[in-house]
Structure 1
Amino acid sequence: MSKVSVLVVDDAPFIRDLVKKSLRSHFPGIVLDEAVNGRKAQQLLARQAFDLILCDWEMPEMSGLELLAWCRQQDALKTTPFIMVTSRGDKENVVQAIQAGVSDYIGKPFSSEQLTSKVAKALSRAGKLAGLQSQATKPAVTSAFANDSLAALTGGKAEVIAPVAARAPAVASSAPAGGPAAASKAAAQGNRGQGQLRLPGGSLPCVIKALSLKEALLLVKRGEPLPQVLESAVLDLQQGDSGEDVARLNGYLHAVAAFEPKPDSEWLQLTLRFVDKDPQKLDYLSRLIARGTTQRHFVPGA
C-alpha cells in the first residue's frame, strides 16, 4: 500500500492534535507531519513531498495565505492540494484564498466528519484516496456525538462518553447569586461585554463574564444540543468603536457548568480556553482587558 502523507500547519497544539487524531482514526496508514507556523512548514516542504497540506490562516511569522502563495510559486507544489483551515468565513476572505490558489477550506470550529469529508474529497481528486484503507465511506454516525470534537480526541470510542440525556442532570453548578434575572441583566449590557460563540453545531450569542489572556468565562442560553467539554470553538469579538472589525479567538470548551443550581438551568456558564498564539490577537486581548470592559463581571476563583 502506497503511503499518503499530510502536513498539518497550525500554531495551536490543541488544533494540531485534534486534526491528527481525527485523520488517524478515519484513514489508517496515513502519514502525518506538523509545523507550528508557515515558516516552519516552508522549511519542511522544501525538503520533502506531501500529498496534502492542511493549514491555518492566522499564524505568527508566516500566515497560511502567505504559505499558500509561496507554494503556488514552486513547481513541485503548484498542484498539491491545499486546504485552508480558518475562522475567517467572510466572503472576501474566501475569494482571497481562491484567488491565491486554495483547493478547499474548512471553517473553524469544525467537526471530525467535516474535516475527514474535506480531506477525502481532496485526496480523491488527487488520485490518492485509493492508497488508504479509508473508513470515511462508512455510514454516518447516528450518535448524539456525531459532530462532537471529543469523538475525534477519543478515536470515536463511544464507551468513554455518556449520552447527552444522561449528562444533563449532572451539569455542575457554580452559579453566582441572582439566577436567571442576573443573567438576563448581564445579557442586556453594552456590546463590549458580548460576543458570538461559534461551535460545530451552530452559533450562540454570549455574555463575557470574565476575560484573561488564557481563557474567557461566558454565559450562554441553554439549547439543544448542549455544548460539550473539549469541543472546539471560536469566540468572535468586535474590535474598535465602529464594530466593523472582528477578532476571532480560537479555543476549546474546558468546562461547562449550570448558571443556576438545578439541572434545568436556563443559562450555562462556559470556560473557553484559548489556543491562539497569534501576537495580534494576544495584543487585542491585552488591550481589551486593560480597558476593563469585561472585568467588572469577574468572580474570583470562578
Structure 2
Amino acid sequence: MAIRVLVVDEAAFVRDSLKRALRKFMADVDVFDAINGGRAIAVLKANKIDLLLTDWDLPETSGADLIQWVRKIDRYEKLPIILVSSDTDRNMLQAAAELKVNDFLSKPFSPDDVQKKVVKQLARIGCMPKQRPGSGMGGVSSGLEALTGRVKPVVQKPRKVMEANFGGAAKRPRKPPVRGGLAESARQPLGCLAELNFSGFQLRCQVSDVNLQTLTGVVPRTDNIPALYAQVNVDVQTAKSEPIASLRGFVQGVQAGDPRPDSKQVRISLRFLESSPEDLELLSNFLAR
C-alpha cells in the first residue's frame, strides 16, 4: 500500500520541490498538497495520511493551528510531523516542540535533506518506504531537538563508500586544473552571469556553478575584494544580460583564480539566504532548461 504524504506550504515552488524529492527515492508514495492549514485539514479528514510536512507561516489557518488540530485527532496522535521552514527562531522552534512536532527541515533544502528526515520519521512508526534503486538510508538526529537544545546533534563519521550522498557528504570529484589566467570552470560557463551588489561596490561575476542554495563564479581582481560573510544582492542574468532572478546571499568563500600572486581573477562562492518563492522558481526554471 502506498505511503500517503501531505505537503503544506503557501509557495507552489516549495510544494513542487518537496514532491519531486519524495518521488525521487520512494517507489510507492501518494503525495497530497495544500496551500494553507484549512485545505490541509480537509485533506487529512478525507484521507489517512502517514506523514505531514508543513510550514509554520501559512495563510488563513496557520501551521501552528494545523498542528494543534492534528494532535487532537485520535488517528493522528502519533502522526510524524516535519516542520519545513526558513525560520530558526528559538521561540518558534520551542513552540513547535511543545506541539509534538517530530523534526525540522530547514529551507532551502536538498533532496538528500528531505530523504534523511522522511526515512527517519517513517522508520520511527515502522512504516518504511519502498526505496527506489540507488537510494540509501541513514540515521540523523532530530533537527528540531538539536536546534532547541534538547539533544546534541549526531555527527556521523565519513564512510569510505557513500551511496546516493545519504547519511553524509559524498566525496566530490577533484576540481579541474587551472591553466592560464582563468579557472577551467570559468572557461566553460553555464551560460549565465551575476551582478553582485555589495555595500558600496559591484562586481560582475562569470558563473561557473549555481543551484538553489549556492553560486560559484569568477570575478575580476580589484581593490574591492569582498570579505567572508559579507551580504550581497545577487542579480542572476543570462549570457546576454537578460534578468533571471534576484536573490540575497552572503560570501562563504574567496580564493585566487589561479595559483599565482599576479592572478587577475578571484574565485568567489556565495550561499543564498531566504529568497522569494517567485525568484527561486525563476532560477529553477532556468536551471531545468
TM range (shorter): 0.5 to 0.7
* 1:48 CA displacement: 1.2
Residue number in structure 2 paired with 1:67:
66
* 1:219 CA displacement: 7.4
Distance (Å, rounded) in 2 between the aligned partners of 1:175 and 1:75: 52
Residue number in structure 1 paired with 2:159:
none
CA offsets 1:94-149 (integer angstroms, 9 cap, x no match): 111000110111111111111110000000001101x5235333933469xx79xx
* 1:206 CA displacement: 2.5
> Which secondary structure state, in structure 2, belongs to the residue aligned with residue 65 of structure 1?
helix
Residue number in structure 2 paired with 1:78:
77
Distance (Å, rounded) in 2 between the aligned partners of 1:116 and 1:38: 24
One-letter amino acid of the structure 2 residue matched with residue 6 of structure 1: V
Change (3 A) 1:206 1:44: same
Q: Is the 8 A contact 2:234 2:249 kept in 1?
A: yes
Q: Is the 8 A contact 2:214 2:269 kept in 1?
A: no
Q: 1:207 aligns with which of 232, 236, 239?
A: 232
Residue number in structure 1 paired with 2:137:
137
Distance (Å, rounded) in 1 between the aligned partners of 2:194 and 2:127: 52
Change (3 A) 1:5 1:173: closer
* 1:33 CA displacement: 1.1
> Which secondary structure state, in structure 1, belongs to the residue aligned with residue 246 of structure 2?
strand
Q: Give the structure with higher Rg (CA).
A: 2
Distance (Å, rounded) in 1 between the aligned partners of 2:106 and 2:194: 33
Q: Is the 8 A contact 1:57 1:84 kept in 2?
A: yes
Q: Is the 8 A contact 2:250 2:273 kept in 1?
A: no
Q: Is residue 2:288 matched to residue 1:252?
A: no
Q: Is the 8 A contact 1:56 1:84 kept in 2?
A: yes
> Which secondary structure state, in structure 2, belongs to the residue aligned with residue 223 of structure 1?
strand
Residue number in structure 2 paired with 1:185:
200
- Listed as ranges, the gaps of 5+ residues in structure 2 are 139-161, 177-183, 203-211, 216-227, 236-243, 255-266
> Which secondary structure state, in structure 1, belongs to the residue aligned with residue 20 of structure 2?
helix
One-letter amino acid of the structure 2 residue matched with residue 74 of structure 1: I
Q: Is the 8 A contact 2:119 2:137 kept in 1?
A: no
Residue number in structure 2 paired with 1:93:
92
Change (3 A) 1:40 1:97: same
Distance (Å, rounded) in 2 between the aligned partners of 1:175 and 1:200: 12
* 1:81 CA displacement: 0.7
Tell me: higher relative CO, structure 1 or 2? Use CA pairs within 8 A at least 6 residues apart.
Answer: 1
**1:268-287 alignment to 2 at 5 Å?**
none
CA offsets 1:243-265 (integer angstroms, 9 cap, x no match): xxxxx755527459xxxxxxxxx
> Which secondary structure state, in structure 2, belongs to the residue aligned with residue 69 of structure 1?
helix
Distance (Å, rounded) in 2 between the aligned partners of 1:34 and 1:186: 43
Distance (Å, rounded) in 2 between the aligned partners of 1:234 and 1:175: 16
Residue number in structure 2 paired with 1:168:
186
* 1:205 CA displacement: 4.0
- TM-score, normalised to structure 1, is 0.56
One-letter amino acid of the structure 2 residue matched with residue 252 of structure 1: L
> Which secondary structure state, in structure 2, belongs to the residue aligned with residue 127 of structure 1?
coil
Q: Is the 8 A contact 1:28 1:132 kept in 2?
A: yes
Change (3 A) 1:37 1:215: farther
The percent of aligned pairs where both chains have the same amino acid is 27
- TM-score, normalised to structure 2, is 0.58
* 1:75 CA displacement: 1.3
Q: Is residue 2:241 matched to residue 1:223?
A: no
* 1:200 CA displacement: 7.2
**1:95-114 alignment to 2 at 5 Å?**
95-114=94-113
- Listed as ranges, the gaps of 5+ residues in structure 1 are 148-162, 188-197, 236-247, 257-270, 272-302
List structure 1 segments (4+ residues) > 4 angstroms apart after TM superposition: 163-167, 171-176, 217-222, 224-228, 248-251, 253-256
> Which secondary structure state, in structure 2, belongs to the residue aligned with residue 252 of structure 1?
helix
Change (3 A) 1:125 1:207: same
